[in-house]
Amino acid sequence: MKKHIFTIVIFALLAVGCVILSGPLAYAQEIKVYDIEVSVYDATGKTYTGGTLSYSTFPQTIYVTTATPGVSDKITVTITTPSGATKTAKKFTVNSVSEAGTYVVTATSANGAQREIAIQVKYEVKAQATSTYKYRTVGIMIDSIKKDNKVIKRNVDTNVGLVNGTGLDAAALTTVERLVSASDGATYTLVGSMILEVYTGSKVVGRYVVSEDWNRLLNDYEWVPATIDAFQTMCSATVIYQAPKEVKMGSEWRDTTNGNEILGKIEGKVTLYPYQWAQVSAYINDNRVGDKYNHISSGLITIRADGKTVVEQYAKKVKITYICNTGLNGVTALFNFEKVTAIDIALSPEEDLSYPENEDVVTWIYLNVIGEDLVPSHGVEAVIRIPELGYFYETTVVCMDNSTIRIPFAWHTPEVDSTKQLKVTATVNNDKVLSESDYGNNSLEFTVQVRNMSFVTPTEQGEAYPSVPYRTSTSRVEWTEQTYTNGQIVINSYYAELKVDAKISYTTKEQGYIRSGYGYTLELTYTINTNYNRDKLITDCQMAYCALPQYTYHKPLYLERKDAEAWHFAMNINSPDGMRKQYVPVWWDDDKEYVIQAMCGEVYTPGGMLCVWVTGTGNPELKLNIEGSMYDDDHIGY
């Protein structure tokens, strides 16, 4: 079982049986392998098992928690600061930006097992540049590798990618293993510098190794001073890797009544990691006759008792079978042991499940997988029901080791007179095709809210000039799904994006102005682009509305669909000719901005809902220049 700095350790139970088929004694043994779990948390309550912690203010106190699941054992925690100072404690405080850097947390059990994780504390600011440029951490450029504080490899120049700027993914862990390429049970420190991407909007404009490209990083953009301070905390970065080790294991069955004659013996090589240790217990006729603890060691450790067999250490999926003569009436016994992996899957709901009435929506639930070596890996059946609507949906979910998988499902909300709660039920692995340690969390029941949408056209107009509110858009979402193809799991990446444009028309548009009291028309067009191959899980745009200044931007004016890809104003009841227009209030002054805001949204996808605002602050088409009033066009003749 490969364990690394950025993973959570899971212990496993190994049961080894040796049963005499006839005779006065029954021999058996049990081996439990324990791991040290180490994690940290801060004032936000979030828990980390390693990686990068970013803060915009200091001081920050970080707390360490340890555990040895399944056994009570004393754990000593040592903190090593970026300056090399060490102290025994279960918390540490980073008082200022100058103290940011790599903190190494070392947890040591009373049995000699040891686990280390690296916490990269960095300074990060929200206002990054005087322009629109922003940055994000995407990896660590490894320069050298140390063992026992001595450099053993230089000029490594290898990029180790980060997931969401914090932890290593499976590909990065494989890269670290390849770079170290050791099986000696030692701890290795991979030293390098953070890799940043500079971007504006969705476009990446530069990629920099902070320590190597310092001058270019600073000179290419106008960063604010606080951002430069943050960059200084990223010049150095560390990854810790604890290598496995091949160790000897063995068992002996001795006849103590005949000069300790060895009647049977098993030997082999297995792999343990530095943070694992084994407790070996031996039994005769269900009576425990001996215990011994052992972690990484070069020697063969065996518990000996009357007619007892001990197998002390094991690796992933080790299975050994041995037949020997017991010396008791010539009857043979079978020695057989193997690792049993604890697998569990559980369901949990999405948050904030509230939808408008009479819409096609996409909801999702989460399948949380704990454990490794899933069999079969081609998937389990999930069933989702909304009983009140008669809704039934069944799908196959491909499970992956230690993962959280999103299960989307599409349905249509009913028309309601007032807010209504609907019960949703979900089950997974009902047929138990996947063997689990706990089937009790394979069902889920939760509620979704459906809101009444009574579209009321605003009529009351204020005579104030409101400020233009800031609007947030989600124009693109990305997500991944897994399939089982040609005997292996394939990760597929998908996206969906919404593009919206607006066109305003009025009689004097070519002259560059509109008089107050006159009306204008609006056409809102949109396109949805995606590479997803399941059309039912990408809905159409189902709602559009305007926010106008005469209604203080808080009363939505809902639009009507013009055609398959466009929306426009409904007929105005105040228009003598029933025109699809809205009118600039006649009291609107020339020197006051008249800014229109329009929203096109309710596009549901497996990656989230798309919603785009277009506004006169970013689109000149929606900013009207008021010049005079309708009364200026009155002509009275005598």
Nearest CA to 437 out of 367, 341, 348 is that of 341
Pick from 376, 622, 605: nearest CA to 521: 622
Its pTM surpasses 0.85: no
Domain match, 447 and 492 both: no
Inside any domain, residue 250: no
Last residue of a domain, one of 242, 276, 310: 242
Q: How confident is the model at residue 262 (pLDDT cuts 50, 70, 90)?
A: low
Task: Name the token pair of 269.
Answer: 């090589």
The answer to whether position 366 is within a domain reads yes
Structural domain range at position 231: 50-55+76-104+114-242
Q: Is 413 exposed, middle or buried (0-12, 13-18, 19+ CB in 10 A)?
A: buried
Structure tokens given for 228: 């430069």
Rounded to 10 degrees, what is the CA torsion of 374, 379, 380, 384? 140
Last residue of one domain, picked from the residues 242, 273, 288: 242
Question: Distance between CA atoms of 236 and 82, rounded to whole angstroms?
Answer: 10
Cα within 13 Å of Cα(1), Cβ side: 27
Bridging pattern class, strands 86-88 and 476-485? unpaired
Closest CA to 210 of 330, 83, 124: 124
Tell me, yes or no, whether 432 and 498 share the same domain: no
Q: What amino acid occupies position 304? A: R
Q: Are residues 94 and 233 in the same domain?
A: yes
Q: Are residues 517 and 596 in the same domain?
A: yes
Residue-wise pLDDT for 126-159, tens only, equals: 656 666 788 888 889 999 999 988 999 999 999 8
Cα–Cα–Cα angle for 178, 175, 400, nearest 5°? 115
Here the CATH number for the domain that contains residue 443 is: 2.60.40.10
With the CA atoms of 450, 455, 459 and 465 taken in that order, what torsion angle do they form, in degrees rounded to the nearest 10?
A: 60
Query: What length does the chain have?
Result: 638
Tokens representing 111?
A: 């049995």
Structure tokens at 81: 């600061």
- The per-residue pLDDT for range 334-374, each reduced to its tens digit, is 333 333 345 677 777 777 789 999 999 999 888 888 876 56
Instruction: Report the C-alpha gap between 368 and 538 in whole angstroms.
Output: 24
Nearest to 195 by CA among 245, 143, 145, 144: 143
Distance between the two ends of the chain, CA-based, in angstroms?
100
Q: Which two tokens stand for residue 574?
A: 């105040």
421-448 pLDDT per residue, tens:
999 999 998 888 777 778 888 888 999 9
What are 176-199's pLDDT values in tens digits? 889 998 888 888 988 999 899 998
DSSP state of 474: B
What's the pLDDT at 34? 67
Strands 245-255 and 237-242 turn out to be unpaired
Backbone angles phi, psi at 99, to 5 degrees: -95, 0
Among 212, 195, 193, 205, smallest CA distance to 134 is for: 205
In a domain, 392, yes or no: yes
Structural domain total, the chain: 3
Q: Are residues 369 and 483 located together in one domain of the fold?
A: no
